[in-house]
Structure 1
Amino acid sequence: MQQPQTSHVVVVMGVAGTGKTTIGPLLAARLGVPYAEGDDFHPPANIAKMSAGTPLTDEDRWPWLDAIGAWAHGRAGLGGVVSSSALKRSYRDRLRAAAPGLVFVHLTGSRELIEDRMSHRQGHFMPTALLDSQFATLQPLQSDEAGVAVDVSGTPEEITERAARALRTLPEPA
């Protein structure tokens, strides 16, 4: 792995289908830091629920967010990238409570573009039917949250470059 270009721990966030699992590893490679797939932190019961088309409750999400937060805490000062939908402010607050100094890359795009991408992916447990609940739950980053919004139109490489460039505008953690 190359010399890290950041000591930030970055959460790549957004609704299902925005490309978190594609952009996360590309961004981590670009920044020279490890990547963790947020879906891997879900307990089996969560995956079963989503596979059945049932949205998760906040109670379902807390252990998942705590596991991601623990990973991020372990990367503090070293840098890393992890994916997590992090749709609500309360979810991001919980992640920041575990790992202060997190920054977020919010992948954004039109519902039509995201639905089209979701309809073409194979082997993923999240059905397109849950996209509306994802958008209904989404609370975009607020002005007091460290992070950047990045449009998901274009190739994965273009999106990754936009994200890396946007992250360079944020101050490094103290």
Structure 2
Amino acid sequence: MDRAQADYMGMLATVMNGLALHDAMRSAGMASRVQSALNIEQVVEPYIRAKAIRYLEQGRTVIFSGGTGNPFFTTDTAAALRGAEIGAEIVLKATKVDGIYSADPKKDPLAIRYDRISFDEAIAQNLAVMDATAFALCRDQKLPINVFSIFKKGALQRVTMGEHEGTLVYC
């Protein structure tokens, strides 16, 4: 399949995931809004930076979907970009592993999990938990990243409450 076409399909999938997350939050009594970099206003709001910031100031959760709206950019880069745009304190990356390792822990039983690692170290070691563009953007904006497992019970709550979980990538 053409790479750009595949990327657009992936962006649409993130919109569907955003809608599912929005519904789960609504069911839990949380106020949230879904914004998309793709123009599909019948389904979600368009991404408008000032509006997203206003929602956050009102105590709502903003779910950014649709990636950057451009092919060839990952959702990691979109998260870094949106985090920088709204003045976020940190980017939270919920993933399949419980942090950043020196090697793939499924392939290398001697892989070491880092509690903390600098952006420069992560980039130099080519640690593949996020793409280099996202790492570089966060580094340049002095925006830390916390990588943790979405499958670990209570991890998301602990991270959002400021507790240590996973790996912190810092400047």
What TM-score, normalized by structure 1, do the two folds share?
Answer: 0.39
- Which structure has the highest strand share of the two? 2
- Which structure has the highest helix share of the two? 1
| Structure having the higher Rg | 2
What TM-score, normalized by structure 2, do the two folds share?
Answer: 0.39
Structure with more contact order per residue of length (Cα contacts < 8 Å, sep ≥ 6): 1
